[in-house]
Amino acid sequence: MQKDGDRSKVFARRVVLLAGGKALLVSLLGARMYYLQVMEAEKYRTLADENRINMRLIPPPRGRIVDRFGVPLAVNRQNFRALVIAERTRDLKQTLQTFADLVPLSDYDHQRVLKESSRRRSFVPVTVRENLTWEQMALVQVHAPNLPGVIIDEGLTRDYPYADLVSHILGYVAAVAEEDMIGDDPLLQLPDFRIGKAGIEKVYDLPLRGKAGASQVEVNAVGRMIRELRNEEGEPGHEVQLTIDMRLQDYASRRLGEQSAACVVMDVHTGELLAMASMPAYDPNAFARGLSQAEWAALANDPRAPLRNKALAGQYAPGSTFKMVVALAALESGIVNAEQTVYCPGHLRLGNHRFHCWKRGGHGHMNMTSALEQSCDVYFYEVSRRIGIERIADMARRMGLGAPLDIELPGEAPGLIPSKAWKTATLGQPWVQGETLVASIGQGYVLATPLQLAVMTARIANNGLAVRPTLCRQEIRDGHLVERPTPAFESIGVSKPFMGLVQNAMWRVVNGNRGTARGSAIDVDGQTMSGKTGTSQVRRITMQERQTGVRSNEELPWKFRDHALFVCFAPAEAPRYAISVIVEHAGGGSRHAAPIAHDVMLEALRLDPSRRRTTREVAAIRDAPPGEGGVRRLTDAETGAEESEERRPQ
């Protein structure tokens, strides 16, 4: 028993030691528990929430774009798409094959669906085809029993009901590219999300986009949704209202037709653009859908540049439409008064150069009014020689030329008004007087956009108020869309009598006996139109050609032909609309641009809401086919006598 006693003592001692050891280990567990569950609790709580909570974004419907009367120009259309959920199919390949028998499915789509569904978890829907027609959608629905796992989903797609008729103003939406991933809007991460890439869609993208709704869902370890925790309502995109009158825009675009041309219609008092057409154009719906490589190449390589908004981004020598600027500069300078005459023998000699008038035989004695009416080049050569380029450049800038007008669209070209300082700075050469002469008839370095020409015309028509163009009823201020306040324009400082004189001369261009646009006169309830033709030369006429006889414009290859221009305002008695038209490589302005401006102006006056008409009058206007408005049509002999403007010196 003694032995056992010793053994017991050792046993008891060691059991106590053992218990101590265990106590130590247990306290270690307790300490660890305290560390994890109390000290680090916050961190792990966050991690647990990150584990289980997924944010699902609900894209808001994009705001509509409407015209000045609320006619929708850009809307959201129901888009039926077919999705497939792999885990609900018996055999994905078989299902896809059955689907392809009903709705055409490209090999590419076929492979893409198989690839995507193998990459994703089997309960994640994969898009099979978008933009199903109603018939295709119905077909899929009817065959649903044979298509296990295929579901039809309704989404919203941007739709432009007027297709290419307003595309340059509206722009288009397209998938988010890498470089668009700016800011922290989570919407940009959505695979199907579209953002504005051009035009109003781009400039007003943020208000149009709206705010994403969010649905917080709880997911399990494999990502399957268990339940919705929170649903945050999004904010639909704001509606943007344009100043465009879609009826006029529609008319102007169609009137330009197949030609490479632009037409701007502007309210001379408010600067609101009622139409801004540039043709040919593109179909923005194709961009929203996604362009194929071939479609893109066709658009990009077309010589008539359908992707370019010629009204804004096209810079053209304004030709004779620039003569009003020279006339106003001359009147203001006091060096030349309106009654002083210049003799036009058909050319003007300066040093060794002869500067030709478009009329080979010359116009004879010309005062300012008749020189504008008949667009006599020699008169303006002489006047510009006397007043110098700087006065002309100064007046041109005051008329809105030579600098961007800050319209709400991107891609506006600044145009160019040359001056001595400009030439020294950019070309490093001194200004020569011959260049002043060339500039005086809107050739040489002078460049203007159709929009600038419309603004210039509007400023003449409104007696010299510095009206600025605007396209949108709202503007973005501090990130919010607010109504644009009624603008108050300052005067450009040209005296009213001078303006009146030029306005009168422009009236004579259209209505005078010898006016260059006398074929395009209008008379709507006694309202008439004033305007100015212009033809801008694209290439130089060689001395040889001049001797052998200038080939007519039609004989030249298209890209060497002259641009036709026309600016006008109406009613002459109380101006309301200013219009500029340019038709690229068409020929003379009076023959190719003025008739278009004439028709568009008639339409503008017809649509003018201030005009009260009897229903019979309205019917009469509607029934009258365009171009039969009275005095517009000329005989062939008359048109042949129009300006051909062979004016640039060797």
Partner 1 sequence: MSNGLMTARMRRGEMTLGEKLWQVSWSFVLLISALAGIGVVMLYSAANGDMDPWASRHITRYGVGLVLLLVVALIDIRQWMRYAYWLYALAFVLLVAVEVKGTIGMGAQRWIDLGVIQLQPSELMKVALVLALARFFHGADLSDVGRPLYLVIPVLLVLAPVALVLRQPDLGTALMMLAGAAVLFFVAGVRLWMFALVVVAGLSVIPVAWQFLHDYQKQRVLTFINPERDPLGAGYHILQSKIALGSGGLTGKGFLQGTQSHLNFLPEKQTDFIFVMLAEEFGMLAGIGLLVLYVLVVAYGLAIALRTRNQFGRLVSIGVTVTFFLYVFINIAMVMGLIPVVGVPLPLVSYGGTAMLTLMLAFGLLISAWVHRDVQIGRRGAYDDG
Chain positions contacting partner 1, by CB under 8 A? 1, 3-4, 6-7, 10-12, 14-15, 18-19, 22-23, 25-26, 28-30, 32-34, 36-38, 40-41, 43-45, 47-49, 51-52, 218-222, 226
- Closer to partner 1 by CB, 32 or 496: give it: 32
Amino acid at position 554, single letter: E
Strands 474-477 and 480-483: antiparallel
Residues 326 and 319: their CA atoms lie apart, in Å, by: 12
- Closer to partner 1 by CB, 54 or 639: give it: 54
- Closer to partner 1 by CB, 41 or 624: give it: 41
CB of 130 to partner 1, least distance (A): 33
State whether residue 138 is helix, strand or coil: helix
CB of 295 to partner 1, least distance (A): 43
CB of 121 to partner 1, least distance (A): 14
- Closer to partner 1 by CB, 120 or 360: give it: 120
CA 17 to each of CA 8, 11, 12, 14, 29: distance values in angstroms, whole numbers, following the listed order: 14, 10, 9, 5, 19
* Residue 620 exposed, middle or buried by CB count within 10 Å (0-12, 13-18, 19+): exposed
- Closer to partner 1 by CB, 48 or 298: give it: 48
CB of 32 to partner 1, least distance (A): 5
Q: Which residue has the tokens 């309202």?
A: 527
Q: What are phi and psi of 47, to 5 degrees?
A: -60, -40
Q: What are phi and psi of 377, to 5 degrees?
A: -75, -40
634: left (phi over 0), alpha (psi -120 to 50) or beta: beta
CB of 226 to partner 1, least distance (A): 7
CB of 20 to partner 1, least distance (A): 11
CB atoms within 10 A of CB 449: 28
Q: Is 320 a catalytic residue?
A: yes
CB of 116 to partner 1, least distance (A): 21
Amino acid at position 603, single letter: E
Beta-carbon contacts of 428 under 8 Å, excluding residues fewer than 6 positions away, are none
* Residue 214 exposed, middle or buried by CB count within 10 Å (0-12, 13-18, 19+): middle
State whether residue 226 is helix, strand or coil: strand
- Closer to partner 1 by CB, 222 or 488: give it: 222
Q: Which residue has the tokens 């060691």?
A: 14
- Closer to partner 1 by CB, 47 or 482: give it: 47
CA 289 to each of CA 13, 114, 131, 309, 346: distance values in angstroms, whole numbers, following the listed order: 85, 22, 8, 21, 57
CB 149 within 8 A of CB 169: no
CB 328 within 8 A of CB 501: no
CB of 125 to partner 1, least distance (A): 21
Token pair in block for residue 593: 């641009």
CB 417 within 8 A of CB 442: no
Token pair in block for residue 618: 């309205």
CB of 10 to partner 1, least distance (A): 5
Which of 117, 167, 253, 320 is the catalytic position?
Answer: 320
Beta-carbon contacts of 93 under 8 Å, excluding residues fewer than 6 positions away, are 114
- Closer to partner 1 by CB, 54 or 491: give it: 54
- Closer to partner 1 by CB, 35 or 558: give it: 35
* Residue 293 exposed, middle or buried by CB count within 10 Å (0-12, 13-18, 19+): exposed
CA 261 to each of CA 449, 450, 593: distance values in angstroms, whole numbers, following the listed order: 12, 10, 9
Residues acting as catalytic residues:
320
